[in-house]
Amino acid sequence: MTQLSSHKANALTGRLRVPGDKSISHRSLIMGTLALGESRISGLLEGEDVLDTAKAMRALGADIRRDEAGDWRVIGVGVGGLCQPDTALDMGNSGTGARLVMGLVATTPHSVTFTGDASLSSRPMKRVTDPLTKFGASFHGAKDMTLPLTVSGIEDPLPIEYEVPVASAQVKSAILLAALNTPGKTTVIEKTPTRDHTERMFEHFGVEIAITPHGKNTAITVTGQPELTARDMVVPTDPSSAAFPTIAALITPGSDILIENVGMNPSRTGIYTTLQEMGGDVSFVNERLECGESVADIRVRYSPLNGVTVPQDRAPSMIDEYPILCIAASFATGETVMRGLEELRVKESDRISVMVAGLQAAGVQVVEHDDGMTITGQTSIPGGALVKTHLDHRIAMSFLTLGMASDQPVTVDDGRVIETSFPGFRDLMNGLGAHITDQIKDPA
């Protein structure tokens, strides 16, 4: 276990590039596996979560390797060409990887066991397994469908129409991936729009996909069993990862940074809209399109912030960013109200209760709700806390960001978990002017 301590920083300045987008990285490896020929991926996030998905795709038959230039090459097996893996697929800490790959194998004639670390093994999979059983797949494991879990795929799947009961891009994407090896048309109905990387990736690879109104909702229809041809992919940098240096700069006096090549998919930018509403000096330059995804550079300068009530319908576009938004809210004048966040209870940790406990330990005024929290900002945060991360990378990075502007250092109990999504986080932030140090190194 490695404890990391974050000390009060001077102004953060400079240009930086955060790692590749995690959501797009997972999907690029999966789609490359389902295409015939060699797909090249540049900018892939080389964090543990994505590398575990790469291992899973190799076990299912793909030839995946990193070349000397740092690009990744995937020789796929085609839709319907997945192999029976010799061993269980260890998905590490990645809920996204586990749920997407479950969808992928549910409509194959294979039996696949999924395992993961302690954090992943505590997370419910039922919201994915329920719709996948409608194709004809079956699942064997604990009653609450936690890992380890075995998927018995169906050789002759049936197309389905499924209305997603809660806003979840992972559930939607698992169904869409299952639909690829299912004859006929499968439709997913969304009440609330969620991130649409899967739909954009399908279009990039030539999948027949239609997105149409369905009353007040949206219907996404996929025609199954296409023959996909390899495509090159460029992964933009991750807007979720970019939120950490963005908020660090906003709360650290004198800061002025430029974050390059950030994905600006409209389904992912709620955090930046919210920060602008709080008075944050956040602007976008060099806006462009790459592989169907909007990309821009983000200029961020220190700004006094004001509390806001975040609209509940914005939650799907920033669900992963609420932990770091809590840090911005801690320094904002007035109250910041965040509600409609029930999904945070079933992330890598119960992010609502874990954030509340850490904030209170650091001297922040916060009230916990069943579906969120209310934070009353202060001009000065005492800090001086040791925060339990519960093996959650976003909790760790959020509290290290808090320590950059609090009176006393903030320490997280395990900094190693950051590698799952943001390898090099400490060095990158220290290069801007932060002061994050090892506190204790204990091999146990």
What 3-state DSSP class applies to 344?
helix
Parallel, antiparallel or unpaired: strands 185-190 and 217-223: antiparallel
Q: 22 a known binding residue?
A: yes
Q: Distance between CA atoms of 6 and 404, rounded to whole angstroms?
A: 6
Q: How far apart are CA 195 and CA 3, in angstroms?
A: 33
Is 313 annotated as a binding-site member? no
The residue among 402, 317, 404 whose CA lies nearest residue 355 is 402
Q: Is 178 helix (H, G, I), strand (E, B) or coil?
A: helix
Please state, in angstroms and rounded to a whole number, the distance separating the CA atoms of residues 91 and 89.
6
Place of tokens 């204990």: 442
Rounded to the nearest angstrom, the gap between the alpha carbon of residue 38 and the centroid of all alpha carbons in its chain is: 26
Q: Quick check: 33 and 228 in contact, CB under 8 A?
A: no
Nearest to 179 by CA among 212, 135, 228: 135
Q: Given the DSSP bridges, would you call strands 111-115 and 335-338 parallel, antiparallel or unpaired?
A: unpaired
> If DSSP codes are grouped into helix, strand and coil, which group holds residue 337?
strand
From 49, 52, 196, 320, the catalytic residue = 320
> 433: helix, coil or strand?
coil
320 annotated among ligand-binding-site residues: yes
Is 351 annotated as belonging to a binding site? Answer: yes
Any catalytic annotation for residue 320?
A: yes
412 φ, ψ (degrees, to nearest 5) = -110, 145
240 is in an annotated binding site: no
Residue 387: what are its φ and ψ, rounded to 5°?
-105, 135
170: annotated binding-site residue?
yes
- Please check if 394 is assigned to a binding site: yes
Point out the annotated binding site for phosphoenolpyruvate: 22, 95, 123, 170, 351, 394
Point out the annotated binding site for 3-phosphoshikimate: 22-23, 27, 168, 170, 320, 347
Point out the annotated binding site: 22-23, 27, 95, 123, 168, 170, 320, 347, 351, 394
**Known catalytic residues?**
320
